[in-house]
Structure 1
Amino acid sequence: MPDIPIKKLVVQVEEIFHEGGPRTDKPLKRGAVLAVIENPFAGRYVEDIAGYMEELKPVGLTMARRLLDALGGDASEIEAYGKGAIVGGAGEVEHGALWHNPGGYAMRELLGDTKAIVPSTKKVGGPGARIDIPVAHVNAAYVRSHFDAIEVGINDAPRANEIVLVLAMTTGPRIHARVGGLAAKDIKGEDGLR
């Protein structure tokens, strides 16, 4: 377990067989893991906060492993990812930005040589606040079929002095993706874009 104590860990997994179109035998799995931690900067302005990203790295790895396990444990099955944070009211949105590196690099470490940037979002909110976590293909940002979002939240978090950290992964494109663009099978994998 990481040095930063996790107050609560929530894992959610969806299995989608269809959205009104033909049913698939192998469902799309979409999952998220949320961790509630104390915000060490709550209630005051601190100029130098960037060092806290290093302390969050073990939290990121713990969360990424838990989510990968919940989705079946096979890193090669993960095709899209995203991250985000909800900062309690005594904090500021910049405290959520601390999650960019530790959250993104934790997933990239577990999933192997992914090329694409991990999409992200953050906001300030109170207990029960919900957030849409954007997801995109792990190797090419222009793969339109994998653009999606996963809505998450916890009924009693974040309290004013807390942060809810979020990681999200999926095992494929939207279940009935058919609006064109770069296909996953055509990814060159050179720059994280195409």
Structure 2
Amino acid sequence: MVYFIVGMVLFFGVHLVPNMGNVRNNLISKYGENGYAGAYALIALIGLVLYSIGYAKAEFVFIYEPSALIKQFTMVLMFFSIFFLVAMFAPNNIGQKVRHPMLIAVIIWGIAHCVANGDLWSLVFFFGFVVFSIFKIVSLNKRNKPPVKKSIPWRNDFIVFVIACVAYGVEAYFHQYISGMPVWYLFGA
């Protein structure tokens, strides 16, 4: 449980503390942009690893049994999560309409995993990312003006869709090696 708590505090703390007042600007002026970014990335990575290790080692505490339909709906949600994640990395119209596609992807991912898992620590783990992402969207929207919309050909959206389909298949295949749980269990296989 110590890994879980320390990891959670480090990961979410390094993302949230710089949003308080002038903390981010003060750290950048003291350590430089590269020093700040490097420390930020390292602390976030250590936090995520500890959070994940703590989650993997947490005792299973049953809360509810998700229905078969809900588990299958998770697969649909996960496609949208991957789709928005891909939209983050290429110029496309979807990424322009949805202001923070990566954070939307994390929210969908977290909700999908909350509904597909009925144990306490899954709910705490995944819902933590949902709450964090919502907070981050609100914070970023207050701090930054909406970007200027550019004219982007619709073929870029199609390319994002194709890449998302491929990434979805790869994620579905490798899920069992990452989490120990094959996604096919959602279909009773």
Q: Tell me the TM-score range normalised by the shorter chain.
A: under 0.3
Specify which structure has the higher proportion of helix.
2
Q: TM-score, normalised by structure 2?
A: 0.24
Specify which structure has the higher proportion of strand.
1
**Higher RCO (C-alpha under 8 Å, 6+ residues apart):** 1
